[in-house]
Amino acid sequence: MPGLTIGDTLPDLEVETTHGRIKLHDYVDNTFTIIFSHPGDFTPVCTTELGMMAAYADKFAERGVKLLGLSADDVQSHNQWIKDIEAYNNGHKVTYPIAADPNREIIKQLNMVDPDEKDSSGQQVPSRALHIVGPDKRIKLSFLYPASTGRNMDEVVRVLDSLQRASKHKIATPANWKPGEAVVISSSVSSDDAKEMFPQGYKTADLPSKKDYLRFTNVD
C-alpha cells in the first residue's frame, strides 16, 4: 500500500506527547498544522532543527499554524532533550508538543520511515519527514529529507504563505516566489472570470505560442 501522501486524509491517531495524549484530528482542529519527524533524541542535526522550530514559533503562530514534532524516543527522553534544545538555541522555548514513537507504529502510519537508517536495536527510525496538514485534515505538502540534511524553516514558512494564499484565491505561486511578489492565476480561470475575480488587474506574459496561460496578479 502506498504511504500517506498529498491529498490523503491524516489518520486520526492517538499519540503520546510531551503535552499529554493527543488525537491528531482534534489537534489539527481547523487550522494548518505542521507535523515533522526526527530520527532521534540527543542527535546533532535534530537539536538544531527543533530549536529552529522553537525560534520560528511566532512566525507560525502569526499564520495560525500549529506545530507537532515527533522523535522516536519516549516522552521522558524528549523532556530531558528539550533542556539541551532550549539551551543551544538561545533559550527559545519549545512550546509545541513532541510525540514519542518507541514502537515505530506512528511513523509507519504517517509515512515517515527512513528506508535506510536503523537504530542500534535494528528498529527502523524516522526520516526527516514533514507534512503540512490543511484545516480539512488532508495532507497539503510532504517533504522527505535524508538524516544528513537539516531542513530549511524559511522554506516551510514560504510554502505556508503560498498554501494559505492558494486556499483563499484561485492562484498558484511561481518558482522562487516570496510574499509581496506577483502570483499566477490558475489555468482553470477563464479570462472573463479573471477580470471579475481579480479587479486589481493582471498582466499576461507575451509568449511565442500566443497562448494566454501565464497571467500575473497580486494578492494578500
Contacts with ligand BEZ by CB under 6 A lie at 39-40, 43-46, 117, 147
46 is known as an active-site residue: yes
- Nearest CA-CA partner of 68 in 113, 102, 112, 18: 18
Q: Which of 46, 65, 112, 189 is catalytic?
A: 46
147: three-class secondary structure by DSSP: coil
The CB-of-21 to ligand BEZ minimum distance in angstroms stands at 26
CB distance 93 to 104 below 8 Å: no
Between 149 and 188, name the residue whose CB sits nearer to ligand BEZ: 149
Could you tell me the three cell numbers for 41?
533524541
- Nearest CA-CA partner of 71 in 90, 93, 89, 45: 45
Between 13 and 55, name the residue whose CB sits nearer to ligand BEZ: 55
The CB-of-59 to ligand BEZ minimum distance in angstroms stands at 23
Find the length of the chain. Answer: 220
Place of cell 535506510: 116
CB distance 159 to 145 below 8 Å: no
CB distance 60 to 96 below 8 Å: no
CB-neighbour burial class of residue 34 (10 A; exposed 0-12, middle 13-18, buried 19+): buried
The CB-of-74 to ligand BEZ minimum distance in angstroms stands at 17
The CB-of-128 to ligand BEZ minimum distance in angstroms stands at 8
Please identify every residue annotated as catalytic.
46
